[in-house]
Amino acid sequence: MECDSIHSVIERAIKRKPIYSPQNYVDKIREARPKQPYEVEFLTHEFFKEYSKLKYYNSIRPGTRTGEPVVTDLRVIRYNPDGVIEYKLNYGDKFSSLPRRVKLGEPSPLDEVPKLHEDPLPIKKKKYGHLQELKVVIPKDYHTFYDNLPHEN
């Protein structure tokens, strides 16, 4: 599969190289293929939406009868801004619209879908403490990143 070779290239690029922050992963993934760098999108908590609030589809199963595709056959799911959900059963296929079983409500533009989290999720106090202890082996340039991690008090 194409994705296996991509993972392999990325794995070789980050193997035995120091990673001190999430940004280091982004940089290493871009550097993994110098001639045509991979596109990497750095996601924050603001990217994730509370899709469970959408009630337009009661199922994401693409088939309706025995022998037709089921959820575990899905390879790609795409939520469009107009509220339509599309899927692929194979990576090389074109997107198909997911059939709607029961109309539970009108779709909302994705801008109206609430954020999953208003703020970054805090890490446990114990984990924060352990990360602070590790700063003795982490270059000083990264200490601010670790100091500013949201954590429980």
Is the Cβ–Cβ distance between 78 and 95 less than 8 Å? yes
Residue 108 shares a structural domain with residue 59:
yes
pLDDT at residue number 18: 94
Are 109 and 81 found together in one domain?
yes
Name residue, tokens 């575990």: 72
* Residues 73, 125 within the same domain: no
Provide the pLDDT for residue 65.
84
Asked whether residue 21 falls in the same domain as residue 56, the answer is no
Q: Note the pTM of the prediction, 2 decimals.
A: 0.63
Distances, alpha carbon 103 to alpha carbons 43, 71, 100, in Å? 32, 19, 7
| Residue pLDDT, tens place only, 30-63 | 999 999 999 999 899 999 888 776 666 677 888 8
Residues 109 and 61 occupy one common structural domain: yes
Q: Which SS3 state, helix, strand or coil, does residue 134 take?
A: helix
- Tokens (6 digits) for 117: 């989290």
Residues of the chain with pLDDT under 70: 1-2, 53-57, 100-111
The one-letter amino acid code at 107 reads P
Give how far Cα 84 sits from Cα of 54, 60, 103, 110, 115, Å: 11, 11, 12, 10, 19
72 with 106, same domain: the answer is: yes
What residues contact 102, with CB distance under 8 A and at least 6 apart? 58
Please give the residue range of the domain that contains residue 26: 1-42
The whole-number pLDDT of residue 111 equals 55
Same domain, 99 and 138: no
> Who's near 61: CB < 8 A, 6+ residues apart?
69, 70, 71
CB 14 within 8 A of CB 26: no
Give the model's pLDDT for residue 14: 94
- Helix 22-31, helix 2-14: angle, nearest 10: 120
